[in-house]
Structure 1
């Protein structure tokens, strides 16, 4: 599995990530995560949380589980 992603954010407040995850066999899923934080927040921790949220959503989608 591999992903192509793009991020965009006004400095220190909003971080938006969008990516396409390609699975073995060619199946593709799009993942988008929107976050909001306080100025000066730990960017590394935010990045990890974004990755974890996207991975959880993609895994649930592939398993047929509702995340709503």
Structure 2
């Protein structure tokens, strides 16, 4: 599931600064590893690529 939220406030607000700091902490993997390298999950199987394309084109996907 995905959720999109919009916070409307000045960038100088403490809340907005804390959100920005948190995002950058996760994005840059500061203090810990929050993400893995793409190469750890790369599959490189052509049939999966085309299956994905067909599912997207037909709308028969669950992602």
What is the TM-score when the length of structure 1 is the normalising length?
A: 0.29
Greater percentage in helix? 2
Larger RCO of the pair (alpha carbons < 8 Å, separation 6+): 1
Greater percentage in strand? 1
